Amino acid sequence: MLKKVDRKKLRGRRRLRSRKKIYGTAERPRLNVYRSINHIYAQIIDDDQGATLVAASSLSPELKGKVEGGNVEGAAAVGALIAERAKVKGITRVVFDRAGQIYHGRVKALAEAARTNGLEF
């Protein structure tokens, strides 16, 4: 008999496998991306301090009425917003953490928009 694939469990395994190698420092913090069904969230995290330095999401007041969070255009807007906020804080280089998500679609759009707006990773 075939067993049903538990997608949450598989994503969790991929997430832990990548997090063993990815670590954010003060010089190069970690850009974490979380994708839900309706929205997308991004945080720049310093793992040494355990603190979030910059955050942006499709629910941010700057984007709330302009874009939908569940599509590629919304993800690109979030990527541009987090890059702008990181520039204000003086952050230019980050480590990209896709958190077990496939680098495709909304995650890819967010990453490319962040790169074009000045973040290096």
Query: What CATH number does residue 99 fall under?
Result: 3.30.420.100
First to last CA, the chain: 44
pLDDT at 67: 85
pLDDT at 69: 77
Residue 49 within a domain:
yes
pLDDT at 80: 96
Are 40 and 75 in contact by the 8 Å Cβ rule? The answer is: yes
pLDDT at 70: 81
Classify residue 51 by burial, with Cβ atoms within 10 Å: 0-12, 13-18, 19+: exposed
Contacts of 76 (CB under 8 A, 6+ apart): 109, 110, 112, 113
Share of the chain above pLDDT 70, in %: 99
Query: What length is written for the chain?
Result: 121
Domains in the chain, number: 1
Q: How confident is the model at residue 107 (pLDDT cuts 50, 70, 90)?
A: very high
Longest dimension (CA), the chain: 56
Residue 108 within a domain:
yes
Residue 2 has pLDDT above 80, yes or no: no
Range of the domain at 104: 18-64+75-116
Residue 11 within a domain:
no
What is the model's pTM? 0.88
Average pLDDT across the chain, whole number? 92
Q: How confident is the model at residue 72 (pLDDT cuts 50, 70, 90)?
A: very high
- The bridge status of strand 40-46 relative to strand 51-57 is antiparallel
Report the C-alpha gap between 71 and 63 in whole angstroms: 13
Residue 101 within a domain:
yes
Q: Which residues face 95 on adjacent strands? A: 30
